[in-house]
Amino acid sequence: MKCYVLFHGQGGGAGSWIYEGYFSAWKALGFDVEYYSDVLEVKAPKEYIVMATEGALNHTNPQTLKFLEGASKVFMFVQPHKFPDKWGTHPNFVSKAPDSFVQEINSMKNVHLWSFANTSGVDFWDKWKTINYVPLAFDSINYEAEKDDIFKYDVCYVGGVANNGFDEKKVIMRDYFTELETLGVSLGIFINCGISRQEEANVLHNSLITLNIHDKYQHVLGLDCNERTFKSLGLNGLLVSDKVGELGNLFPDVPQASSPKQMAELVKIYLEDFSNLEDVKARNRKDVLDNHTYVNRVELLLKL
């Protein structure tokens, strides 16, 4: 069966990595997949599935709704219509879909809405019909690490500043990494370095401990954790993260630090007794590969 993956902004950033993972997962499951950033480019056959971000769809063109109505199933990632505090003032955090479009989508039985945030108990998405929770995952197809001690660090982090409008993460990372520097261990910290995917996989896999840092809104709301969570556990198996509520729900055994000082203390404890952690790493890697890949997520979507 044909599957169209529609995602706005394919040029870079975490979103492009996520949808590349989904693209590969659909393909691995035997679907004929095409990738688009504009629904109006698509000439659809009679039988097809659509996976789309709401932002990739033209809300005002009637051809958009016709295209969605013709699909056997549509899986649409949607943004909330309201978000708390200052974040709700920024377009990165809110839906651009007009009420008329939302109403049409809500009436389509073949359209299933989803988010990688746990929307249970919050009303930020209240204009949409039921939102299915589908967390992020590990792209097990495109990330295959190579064993090489040249990429080995005591502690590593690979990521970007990810400015979601208020430039909050830069300060958070500075505070955490400044504290970690006091340990005197080898740090492989790569922020906006443009290293290749293979180099990233190798650093994460070969280092002793991986780190994770989230954005401020994730700390406060606790609804989702980033893709680095799954990537670090899938490639390495040992992760020390800052504190985010949903991370604790998904991976209760991952140690979470509520401050830079606490993260440094956790890292020091693990490095001092690392010999007993290989079983932990192997168990975590297996858990991610068995339950938290993008193939797993597509299989979950298909059951909706």
* Common-topology check for domains 2-134 and 149-291: yes
Predicted confidence at residue 276, as pLDDT, reads: 78
Residue 144 DSSP one-character state: -
Percent of all residues in the chain with a pLDDT value above 90, rounded to a whole number: 81
| Position 296, amino acid | N
What is the band of 55 on the pLDDT scale with cuts at 50, 70, 90? Answer: confident
What is the band of 9 on the pLDDT scale with cuts at 50, 70, 90? Answer: low
Q: What is the mean pLDDT of residues 165-180?
A: 94
Question: What is the rounded distance in angstroms from the CA atom of residue 64 to the CA atom of residue 56?
Answer: 10
Which of 157-166, 168-177, 257-266 is predicted with the least confidence, judged by mean pLDDT? 157-166
Give the list of residues 6+ apart from residue 247 with CB closer than 8 angstroms, or none.
212, 225, 229, 241, 254, 256
What is the band of 45 on the pLDDT scale with cuts at 50, 70, 90? Answer: confident
Q: pTM value?
A: 0.94
The mean pLDDT value of the chain amounts to 93
Which of 128-142, 231-245, 270-284 is predicted with the least confidence, judged by mean pLDDT? 270-284
- φ and ψ at residue 52, rounded to 5 degrees: -140, 150
pLDDT over 80 at 10, yes or no = no
What is the band of 12 on the pLDDT scale with cuts at 50, 70, 90? Answer: low
What is the band of 17 on the pLDDT scale with cuts at 50, 70, 90? Answer: confident
Question: What is the rounded distance in angstroms from the CA atom of residue 33 to the CA atom of residue 141?
Answer: 15
Per residue in 209-267, pLDDT tens? 999 999 999 999 999 999 999 999 999 999 999 999 999 999 999 999 999 999 999 99
In sign, the C-alpha dihedral spanning 215, 221, 227, 230 is positive
CATH class of the structural domain 2-134: alpha beta
Contact 225, 136 (CB under 8 A): yes
Q: What is the mean pLDDT of residues 200-209?
A: 97
The residue extents of the domains of the chain are: 2-134, 149-291
17 CB neighbour count, 10 Å cutoff: 16
Which of 20-24, 55-59, 126-130 is predicted with the least confidence, judged by mean pLDDT? 55-59
What is the band of 91 on the pLDDT scale with cuts at 50, 70, 90? Answer: confident
> Does domain 149-291 sit in CATH 3.40.50.2000?
yes
Predicted confidence at residue 63, as pLDDT, reads: 86
